[in-house]
A and B are shown apart, each in its own frame.
Chain A
Amino acid sequence: MENLLWLIPALPFLGAILLVLFGGRLPKSLLSLIGVGSVGVSALVTILLGFEFLAERPLYYQQEVWQWFSVAGFTPSVAFHVDALSMVFIFVITFVGFLIHLYATAYMADEADFARFFACMNLFVGSMLVLVLADNLLLLYLGWEGVGLCSYLLIGFWYKEPANGYAARKAFIITRIGDTAMAIGLFLLFQLFGTLNIQTILSDAPQVWPVGAEGALLVALLLLGGAVGKSGQLPLQTWLPDAMAGPTPVSALIHAATMVTAGVYLIARMNVVFELAPLAQLLVAVVGAATLLIAGFSALTQYDLKRVLAYSTISQIGYMFLALGVGAWSAGIFHFMIHAFFKALLFLCAGAIILALHHEQDMRHMGGLRKSMPVVFWTFLIGAGSLAALPLITAGFYSKDQILWYALAGENGNVWLYAAGLAGAFVTSIYTFRMVFLTFYGPAKTHVSHPPGKLITIPLILLAILSLVGGFIELPHNFGHLVLFSELLQPVLPAIEASASLAANEWLFQLLAAVVSLGGVFVAYLFYIKSPYLLHRLMHNGLAVRLQQFWFAGWGFDALYDNLFVRPYVFLANLNKRDIIDSFYTGLARTAEGFHVMLSQSQNGVLRSYVMGIVVGAIMILTISLFL
């Protein structure tokens, strides 16, 4: 089985190549078979591999496909390495990816550019698989950039709209900024370790660096730069809300299974380096905490259904960063998995709604869908409950509670991080249920014309089930104490110990989290169902309105970057369009031309002036020879 490891990323690539080569000539049914089938088989291989992995419990499987190149001791290979961490990731990527593909065949059925869409989707999944399976950082970087490219192609899928192209470019360029930091980190790592093999670096790092070493800090910060770019964290988060320009399955793929979780993976993968640089790790936690708050508040104010979800993704990834930052590695990965389920679910539901309402994305024009789209309603409600971490029944509760607990009680945790997480949880449940109430309750405002078919509802139901039961594999120790997930990750990621003084009162904090979550739901209910006049009154308050606008614009980051970087760059570039250096050479040519004009005037055809020239010359020569 482990010899088939290479098939997992190769199949989607193969699918993409087939679709590019023959996309124009095949019927749609065959195209979707290739597109979905390649990812499906890949998911099948992954699951079989996963079973074997769970049965055998090896440290890892490794397979070298070929040696990429070898220059003076720099010998990266195209080699795949799968351990528990990668296992979780490839499972999520292929399985959720497969469901999204399946859904997309229905969602994109009327699209003319069917082949291009599935080629890009397959490429996307393939790149992401390479990213998480790579055994060296250079191959990881290949997947990393490949993901960026695919996001560009898919966000700009409806390319005729200039705004979509803009969003696509923004996504690519901003993530590329992070990638550049990461590339510099790779140079540094190579200089220090003489290799980019991940396992070698991880095992050598403690010998090379003491805890808190400057080199480790630098490397960790540079890698964090890359992670922040891909995962849409502060300060490079601005591309993610705009990335909604793509078709909805793309958003689901970007937000749930691929791309944005790459940063989480990178930090978790390089955990040794981050442990050696406590300062960088703290920064990870702080970035996560700040991002989850900022994005949460922005989500509160959005009207576009997909934008709410986009901000919620940023916010949830912030939770993962927070978890990684406080050293609760497995909690972060656990939340990643659960998040992948419910976020994919939410996006696919949103897609079904948008499709049903003629590409209407504004929640103000929705409402009353509870009756007309019951399956979507119930699955969406499950997803929303998981996102809002409704206690006990949803998977999101177990994963988020774990993060909050370690943010306070973990070795690196402190009260501030906990407070931020808790506040974030409150905001999360408010905006989540605001979304639910606006969309499904109240009077119907747009007619449902396109009820979702089987291909759409089956993935929804599967994901909804996962969003409910997914949490039960890891239960708090005072409540069932099931640690299947963290045990699985044990060999890869360091465990975390909760501080003993707080452990006794853990139930208190769990209760607090549950109350906060339910409180959020209640607030949303109060404002949007029970007494909407409260909201009206609030909207007449000047401060609230200004705050609302500020949050709506994503805390002004876009405008800031626009004024700080984009405009000056474009201005400078346009200023120098004619190339100032060229004017030097042009000036040289002009001078020569000037001399030419001057001298050619002396050639006037008047014989006497020529003779005069001879005379003057003779005088000069004579004078020089006589007197000098």
Chain B
Amino acid sequence: MELTFYIAAAVAILSTIMVITRYNMIHALLYLVVSFMAVAVVFFTLGAPFMAALEIIIYAGAIVVLIIFVIMMLNMIQEDVQREKEWLKPSVWVGPALLSAVLLAELAYILLGANPSQTEALVAVDAKLVGLALFGPYLLGVQLCGILLMAGIVGAYHLGRQKKKVIHRFLQERSAAA
């Protein structure tokens, strides 16, 4: 299992790096799928098979597909790729990368500097347990999630509508009043 974890972790990191360095969005998204799958494997090794399944279905499936659809709607062409290339100069990414590295180093310092916890055998937390908790103490959270999704749908519908006029709504009101 350990080995599986490390390989999956390595894949996840590598593919994520690939995601953030691609110029072409579709390529990046494909790497993203790989990354999500690798993380799903990590979930499995951590004893959360249900979550692994969800990761693949929702992240790698639904969300990525959604993004792909949008990209298709936006008609990305070669020029855009070229522009991505221009935008992503070393001078742009060195600073943030360094800062993030500092953050990571501090995180690592916390993790590694902490007292090593006692060794315990891994116990899987299966879907049944999760389900019991989900519809027991977390019932309210589930309801809220439902509302959130509902709001997301409504919001997406409202925002995604194509309006005829592309001026500001205050201006619109004024023109209507006039």
Question: Which B residue sits closest to A615, measured CB to CB?
Answer: B99
Contact residues in B for A618 (Cβ distance below 8 Å): 103
B73 located at the interface, meaning its Cβ lies under 8 Å from any Cβ of chain A in the complex: no
- B interface, over-half SS: helix
B126 located at the interface, meaning its Cβ lies under 8 Å from any Cβ of chain A in the complex: no
A553 located at the interface, meaning its Cβ lies under 8 Å from any Cβ of chain B in the complex: no
Spot the interface stretch: A8-16, A140-148, A323-331, A619-627.
A619-627
Fill in one digit per residue for A599-628: 1 if any B CB lies within 8 Å of its CB, else 0: 000000000000010011011001100100
Q: Please measure, in the bound complex, the distance between the C-alpha atom of A618 and the C-alpha atom of B100, giving whole angstroms.
A: 10
Contact residues in A for B94 (Cβ distance below 8 Å): none
Pairwise interchain contact B96-A615, C-beta atoms closer than 8 A: yes
Pairwise interchain contact B110-A619, C-beta atoms closer than 8 A: no
Q: Please measure, in the bound complex, the distance between the C-alpha atom of A616 and the C-alpha atom of B99, giving whole angstroms.
A: 8
Contact residues in B for A623 (Cβ distance below 8 Å): 106
Q: Please measure, in the bound complex, the distance between the C-alpha atom of A615 and the C-alpha atom of B106, giving whole angstroms.
A: 13
Fill in one digit per residue for B57-93: 1 if any A CB lies within 8 Å of its CB, else 0: 0000000000000000000000000000000000000
B102 located at the interface, meaning its Cβ lies under 8 Å from any Cβ of chain A in the complex: yes
Pairwise interchain contact B109-A619, C-beta atoms closer than 8 A: no
Pairwise interchain contact A626-B100, C-beta atoms closer than 8 A: no
Contact residues in B for A626 (Cβ distance below 8 Å): 106, 109-110
Pairwise interchain contact B96-A622, C-beta atoms closer than 8 A: no
Q: Please measure, in the bound complex, the distance between the C-alpha atom of A616 and the C-alpha atom of B103, giving whole angstroms.
A: 9
Q: Please measure, in the bound complex, the distance between the C-alpha atom of A220 and the C-alpha atom of B106, giving whole angstroms.
A: 87
The CB with the most chain A CB atoms within 10 A, among B100, B106, B109, B110, is that of B106
Contact residues in B for A612 (Cβ distance below 8 Å): 96, 99
Q: Please measure, in the bound complex, the distance between the C-alpha atom of A623 and the C-alpha atom of B102, giving whole angstroms.
A: 10
- Please give the distance in Å from A608's CB to the nearest CB on chain B: 8
Contact residues in A for B103 (Cβ distance below 8 Å): 615, 618-619, 622
Task: Scan residues 380-418 of chain A and give those whose CB is less than 8 A from a CB of chain B.
Answer: none
Q: Please measure, in the bound complex, the distance between the C-alpha atom of A622 and the C-alpha atom of B99, giving whole angstroms.
A: 13
- Please give the distance in Å from A602's CB to the nearest CB on chain B: 16
- Please give the distance in Å from A619's CB to the nearest CB on chain B: 6
Question: Which B residue sits closest to A626, measured CB to CB?
Answer: B106
In the complex, number of A-B residue pairs with CB atoms less than 8 Å apart:
18
Pairwise interchain contact A619-B102, C-beta atoms closer than 8 A: yes
- A interface, over-half SS: helix
Q: Please measure, in the bound complex, the distance between the C-alpha atom of A522 and the C-alpha atom of B110, giving whole angstroms.
A: 120
Task: Scan residues 99-122 of chain B and give those whose CB is less than 8 A from a CB of chain A.
Answer: 99-100, 102-103, 106, 109-110
Contact residues in A for B106 (Cβ distance below 8 Å): 619, 622-623, 626
- Please give the distance in Å from A496's CB to the nearest CB on chain B: 99
Q: Please measure, in the bound complex, the distance between the C-alpha atom of A615 and the C-alpha atom of B107, giving whole angstroms.
A: 13
Question: Which A residue sits closest to B100, measured CB to CB?
Answer: A615
Q: Please measure, in the bound complex, the distance between the C-alpha atom of A615 and the C-alpha atom of B110, giving whole angstroms.
A: 18
Contact residues in A for B109 (Cβ distance below 8 Å): 626
Contact residues in B for A619 (Cβ distance below 8 Å): 99, 102-103, 106
Question: Which A residue sits closest to B95, measured CB to CB?
Answer: A612
Q: Please measure, in the bound complex, the distance between the C-alpha atom of A395 and the C-alpha atom of B100, giving whole angstroms.
A: 113
- Please give the distance in Å from B84's CB to the nearest CB on chain A: 15
- Please give the distance in Å from A287's CB to the nearest CB on chain B: 84
Q: Please measure, in the bound complex, the distance between the C-alpha atom of A619 and the C-alpha atom of B103, giving whole angstroms.
A: 6
Contact residues in B for A616 (Cβ distance below 8 Å): 99
Q: Please measure, in the bound complex, the distance between the C-alpha atom of A623 and the C-alpha atom of B110, giving whole angstroms.
A: 11
Fill in one digit per residue for A338-376: 1 if any B CB lies within 8 Å of its CB, else 0: 000000000000000000000000000000000000000
Question: Which A residue sits closest to B96, measured CB to CB?
Answer: A612
- Please give the distance in Å from B122's CB to the nearest CB on chain A: 30
Q: Please measure, in the bound complex, the distance between the C-alpha atom of A626 and the C-alpha atom of B100, giving whole angstroms.
A: 17
Task: Scan residues 16-43 of chain B and give those whose CB is less than 8 A from a CB of chain A.
Answer: none
- Please give the distance in Å from B100's CB to the nearest CB on chain A: 7
Q: Please measure, in the bound complex, the distance between the C-alpha atom of A622 and the C-alpha atom of B106, giving whole angstroms.
A: 8
- Please give the distance in Å from A612's CB to the nearest CB on chain B: 7
Q: Please measure, in the bound complex, the distance between the C-alpha atom of A622 and the C-alpha atom of B105, giving whole angstroms.
A: 11
Question: Which A residue sits closest to B99, measured CB to CB?
Answer: A615
- Please give the distance in Å from B115's CB to the nearest CB on chain A: 16
Question: Which B residue sits closest to A622, measured CB to CB?
Answer: B106
Contact residues in B for A615 (Cβ distance below 8 Å): 96, 99-100, 103
Q: Please measure, in the bound complex, the distance between the C-alpha atom of A622 and the C-alpha atom of B103, giving whole angstroms.
A: 8
- Please give the distance in Å from A613's CB to the nearest CB on chain B: 11
Q: Please measure, in the bound complex, the distance between the C-alpha atom of A615 and the C-alpha atom of B96, giving whole angstroms.
A: 9
Q: Please measure, in the bound complex, the distance between the C-alpha atom of A618 and the C-alpha atom of B104, giving whole angstroms.
A: 11
Contact residues in A for B110 (Cβ distance below 8 Å): 626
- Please give the distance in Å from B110's CB to the nearest CB on chain A: 7
Q: Please measure, in the bound complex, the distance between the C-alpha atom of A611 and the C-alpha atom of B96, giving whole angstroms.
A: 10
Task: Scan residues 397-455 of chain A and give those whose CB is less than 8 A from a CB of chain B.
Answer: none
- Please give the distance in Å from A245's CB to the nearest CB on chain B: 69
Contact residues in B for A622 (Cβ distance below 8 Å): 103, 106
- Please give the distance in Å from A60's CB to the nearest CB on chain B: 90
Contact residues in A for B99 (Cβ distance below 8 Å): 612, 615-616, 619
Question: Which B residue sits closest to A612, measured CB to CB?
Answer: B96
Q: Please measure, in the bound complex, the distance between the C-alpha atom of A391 and the C-alpha atom of B3, giving whole angstroms.
A: 143
Question: Which A residue sits closest to B107, measured CB to CB?
Answer: A622
- Please give the distance in Å from B109's CB to the nearest CB on chain A: 7
Fill in one digit per residue for B110-144: 1 if any A CB lies within 8 Å of its CB, else 0: 10000000000000000000000000000000000
Q: Please measure, in the bound complex, the distance between the C-alpha atom of A618 and the C-alpha atom of B96, giving whole angstroms.
A: 13
Q: Please measure, in the bound complex, the distance between the C-alpha atom of A615 and the C-alpha atom of B100, giving whole angstroms.
A: 8
- Please give the distance in Å from A209's CB to the nearest CB on chain B: 87
- Please give the distance in Å from B114's CB to the nearest CB on chain A: 12
- Please give the distance in Å from B105's CB to the nearest CB on chain A: 10
Contact residues in A for B96 (Cβ distance below 8 Å): 612, 615
Q: Please measure, in the bound complex, the distance between the C-alpha atom of A618 and the C-alpha atom of B102, giving whole angstroms.
A: 11
- Please give the distance in Å from A553's CB to the nearest CB on chain B: 77
Question: Which A residue sits closest to B106, measured CB to CB?
Answer: A622
Q: Please measure, in the bound complex, the distance between the C-alpha atom of A623 and the C-alpha atom of B107, giving whole angstroms.
A: 10
Q: Please measure, in the bound complex, the distance between the C-alpha atom of A158 and the C-alpha atom of B110, giving whole angstroms.
A: 94
- Please give the distance in Å from A30's CB to the nearest CB on chain B: 72
- Please give the distance in Å from A276's CB to the nearest CB on chain B: 89
Query: What are 18 contact pairs spanning A and B, CB under 8 A?
Result: A612-B96, A612-B99, A615-B96, A615-B99, A615-B100, A615-B103, A616-B99, A618-B103, A619-B99, A619-B102, A619-B103, A619-B106, A622-B103, A622-B106, A623-B106, A626-B106, A626-B109, A626-B110
| 7 A-B pairs with the lowest CB-CB distances in the bound complex, closest first | A622-B106, A615-B99, A619-B102, A619-B103, A626-B106, A619-B99, A618-B103
Chain B contacts to A: CB under 8 angstroms: 96, 99-100, 102-103, 106, 109-110
- 8 more A-B contacts (CB under 8 A) besides A619-B102, A622-B103, A623-B106? A612-B96, A612-B99, A615-B96, A615-B100, A615-B103, A616-B99, A622-B106, A626-B106
